[in-house]
A and B are shown apart, each in its own frame.
Chain A
Amino acid sequence: MKPGQGCFYLGAYRAFVSVKDAFLLVHSVSGCSWGALALRQMGRQDDVRQAGTMVHEREIVFGGEGKLREALEILKARRPKRVFVLNGCPTDMIRDDIEGVIRQAACPFPVHWFNTAGYRGSMREGYIAAMCRLVPLLEDGGKRDPRAVNLVGISADDYRGETDLAAIRKMLEPETRLNAALPMLTEEGIRRWGEAGLNIVFRGFEAVGEALKQRFGTAYITVDYPYGAEGSAVFLRAVDEALGADHGETIRRGTEAAADLAEKVVHPLRLLYQAEAAVAGDHMRASAMRRFLQEELGLRIAAYRDDLDPHEDGERWLEAVRDSGAVLVFGSAFERQLEDELPLRLIRFAYPVMDAVALGYQPYAGFDGLAYLLSDILNGVLAYPYRRRGQFEP
């Protein structure tokens, strides 16, 4: 099969690495730590914050606890704010007593272990489970602020994750206050999580919303990732309905800005209408992107794949794209294989993206994101090196 998503460990990694300033210790063979780092490093080369215990043949035979102990001793000397210990499949298979080692080490900083052996499930399951694992670490904070909201689902590892979060914050404020985000937590966000009057949970992460509700009694709403003008308006209206807030003016201004944008590129948009496209990515982003492309751009979706089915074989989706007239593929850097095979353009929007950077404020989400998303889509087509020898040339 061609895996459509990674393992449980990779998903958990994406959640834990999103906690700002936390250090990740991957108790496994070198490939586990390396692989996760490799998939996130482009555009984040200032942010390594992780190491592997470099388990090798000797540890598989005699146990790897010594390596973990050694690693924790080194960390003790450097005193990171918080450490997440993740393990790969091999150290789970040899039944290392990770919890015992952590306890004995008595580190002067919080050390949290979560069994992240890859075979425990899919990347999506690992991501959700790790977010749920973070819930007990969150604190009540001070007084409840009924205007404050928390946001659940965006990872720092997501392509444009941080900038999308900034765009969503900009849409929400000042009518509401974005209190904290999970898993993109800061130490302050951990402390004040419980202050929010509402948790906004992106579709597919309802289990995390439930865990938060049980822990803090906070209500949650499920929303779609806000791509496009309509997507953003629907997102804000859902928040308004739940909180009794009024983002009417933001919606009006955003919608007007969207009309202005569309007017500037009305002919390319018209000519793109009903072109075929394909989408692949995590459910949160992929389902919202599909809606945006269908409803707001009028594209025909020839093939769609997300990560809801943990056993999905990516090959079926690839075949569906090959057997279509798709000119645009929305996916991760792994979908570039189609761009290499076929005359089409890849628009990177889903994890992982290792072959592109998006520096500065260039969101795809929210009213602000529409300009960047639309530009990238149209530029993707307009700059595509098509028939560079002429229409009738072989």
Chain B
Amino acid sequence: MDPFYEYERDRVFMGLHNAAVNHQQGVNGKVSGNLEAFAQIRDAVLILHGPKGCAYHYRYYARRRWLPAYALESDDLTEAEVVAGGEEKLLALTLRLIRERKPGCAVLIPTVASDVMQCDLPGVARTAAQLTGCPVLAVRSEVFSHIDKTVMRRSRREGLKSWGSAEPSRNTDSKGCGFSEAMLTLAEQLMEPRETEPGTVNVEGYSWGYGGRLLLRGMDGMLREMGLRLRACLPACTAREIAEAPAAQLNVARRVRWAAALQKRYGIPYLHVHGFARYVGLEGILRFYRDVAEKLELHADVDRIFEARMRPARERFEACSRAYEGKRVLLLPRSFSAIPNQLVQAVKGAGIPVTDVVARISPEALRQSDLDGEMVEDILANIRRAMELCGVPGELVVDPDKAQLRELTEGADLMIANPETQLLCPGKPILSDDLLFVAPLDPENMCRNAEYLASGLNKLPTGNRLLLNRVRYAPGLYPQTDNEGDALARELWRKLWQNRGEGT
């Protein structure tokens, strides 16, 4: 089997478990992010300190819905413990689990209930570690329950301003992200000072998208050509390997505070991958390894090192682009805020010469989203920047009316869009914008992706008989469904959360 297909299989077998409904009208608690990190540790015991309902449902946490954290333990706080304190019970459970399972480490995770009680988790962790010799970590809640919406909005606003640039925004990784909190816990409480192993790189095992394992494998292959190697994928390893992580010469981070902590404490530099736009395409891939070399102060001629791989890759990539020669390709995605990345991904990452871009900004979607006027302008500016970067010949079309849209779709030979579009323009081949998710960091997999898409053009569905298009969607809010209960839920979500504190 061609390993490349791991991208597609991840997309379906992992992606189908997507909790889209919950994310449209809800925010998962930070415990979810905690577990996304800690559940990856191969030999950790995880204890959620709180009423049993928390552990019961958080086993099925947001980021890894295809694989619940079956091993998550609860100390089952009852009313009596909520009044009198639950530390003793937590300690007893921790000691028993360490004795029975002999883990590489134990992690005590707070819940809202235990935070309200101000339970002394660090104290329990210290005692348990002293009594057993096993490392016991205690997560310190940085925020109440989950990330604050104003923090999220600030992060997003700044992210839009730094789109595609080398320098991430200052607040790209904020307090309240459960994953970040967990990684920081590992950096501060488990990792130990180590002698540097030259040429080694740690990479954070988070948010590399579907096909992430293959992406990291490709990255390792490239690093080896530079005389480097991946040392560990954190925290998808043993507790001991995490403890020894500071031996790496460089950390590649998606969330950044843990890496910044290691830099401060041990002087280990880090490369923050805060978005993929910068690293898409053959030039983007080279840029990534140039950034790695720069962080390591290698003074290596990265372009020369990879020239033997890049030359055939350029030829393969150009051949893919030729499959679209003479075709008018319209990018018409569901979400206009995704256009900058999707456009770069299509043109630079997959060799699809997009000729026209349409941004549909539904007022309904805008009202429900977290975007203000300034952010919309920033997105439009990023779209125009992406169009320039990608050499898109046409002008950006914003909110076309029906006649304009018909003219555009009728003139197109191929559309990059979502299933809903099949209803608008039956008979036109549509490449699902969901397929533009592959951003490998090695030229072979990147070319393989471009070839996969180019060779599949004759397989694209064109009919307008999709079951999906029989669904009654809320106007302008595809794919949210249209019924009274859902509409009411949306209204409350918007008023009680999104507009919270803004007098709406």
A229 CB-CB contact with B under 8 Å? yes
- Assembly CA distance A229 to B472 (angstroms): 16
Query: Which of A297, A302, A387 contacts B466, CB < 8 Å?
Result: A297
Within 8 Å of chain A (Cβ to Cβ): is B96?
Answer: no
Q: Which residues on the B side are within 8 Å of A342 (C-beta)? A: 1
Chain B residues near A297 (CB, 8 Å)?
466-467
- One of B8-16, B180-188, B221-229, B258-266 contacting the partner: B8-16
Assess A392 versus B472: contact at CB under 8 Å? Given A273-B419, A274-B432, A298-B461: no
Instruction: Tell me the smallest distance from the CB of B294 to a CB of chain A, in Å.
Output: 26
B interface majority secondary structure? helix
Which residues of chain A from 196 to 240 have any CB-CB distance to chain B below 8 Å in the complex? Answer: 228-230
Please tell me the number of chain A residues within 8 Å of chain B, measured between CB atoms.
Answer: 51
Which residues of A are found within 8 Å of B435, using beta-carbon distances? Answer: 274
Q: How far is the CB of B186 from chain A (nearest CB, A)?
A: 15
A41 to chain B, nearest CB (A): 32
Say how far A55's CB is from chain B's closest CB, in angstroms: 44
Taking a contact as CB atoms under 8 Å apart, the answer to whether A274 and B468 are in contact is no
Docked CA distance A373–B419 (Å)? 20
Contact B463 A295 (CB under 8 A): yes
Indicate the size class of the contact surface on chain B. Answer: 35 or more
Query: Quick one: CB contact mask for A152-193 with B, threshold 8 Å, 1 for yes?
Result: 000000000000000000000000000000000000000000
- What's the Cα separation between A275 and B460 when bound, in Å? 10
Residues of A within 8 Å of B434, CB to CB, are: 271, 273-274
A270 vs B64: C-alpha distance when bound (angstroms): 19
By a CB distance below 8 angstroms, the chain B residues around A230 are 465
How far is it, in angstroms, between the C-alpha of A269 and the C-alpha of B420 when the chains are bound? Answer: 12
A274-B432, A327-B9, A390-B67 known; A298-B212 Cβ under 8 A: no
In the complex, the answer to whether B468 meets A270 with C-beta atoms within 8 Å is yes
B27 is an interface residue with CB less than 8 A from chain A: no
Which residues from 391 to 434 on chain B have a C-beta closer than 8 Å to any C-beta of chain A? 418-419, 422, 431-432, 434
Bound form: Cα–Cα A261–B470 in Å: 10
Of listed A266, A343, A374, residue having the most chain B CB within 10 A: A266
Within 8 A of B (CB), among A353-394: 374, 378, 381-382, 384, 386-388, 390-394
What's the Cα separation between A226 and B166 when bound, in Å?
55
Instruction: State in angstroms the CA–CA spacing of A359 and B375 once bound together.
Output: 56
Asked, given contacts A298-B461, A393-B236, whether A271 binds B15 with beta carbons under 8 Å apart, the answer is yes
Q: How far is the CB of A109 from chain B (nearest CB, A)?
A: 49
Q: With a CB–CB cut-off of 8 A, which chain B residues contact A381?
A: 12-13, 16
* Residue A252 is within 8 A (CB to CB) of chain B in the complex: no
Chain A residue with the shortest CB-CB distance to B210: A391
Q: Counting CB contacts under 8 A, is B456 at the interface?
A: yes
> CA of A382 to CA of B471 in the docked complex: distance in angstroms?
21
CB distance from A228 to the nearest CB of B (A): 7
What's the nearest-Cβ distance from chain B to residue A190, in Å? 38
Q: Indicate if the CB atoms of B2 and A323 lie closer than 8 Å.
A: yes
Q: What does the 1/0 interface line of A311-325 toward B look like (CB < 8 Å)?
A: 000000000001111
26 example contacts (A-B, Cβ-Cβ < 8 A) are as follows A229-B467, A258-B470, A262-B467, A266-B468, A266-B481, A270-B20, A270-B419, A271-B18, A272-B16, A273-B434, A274-B460, A276-B8, A295-B461, A297-B467, A298-B466, A325-B4, A325-B7, A325-B9, A341-B1, A343-B13, A378-B16, A390-B40, A390-B64, A391-B14, A391-B212, A394-B213
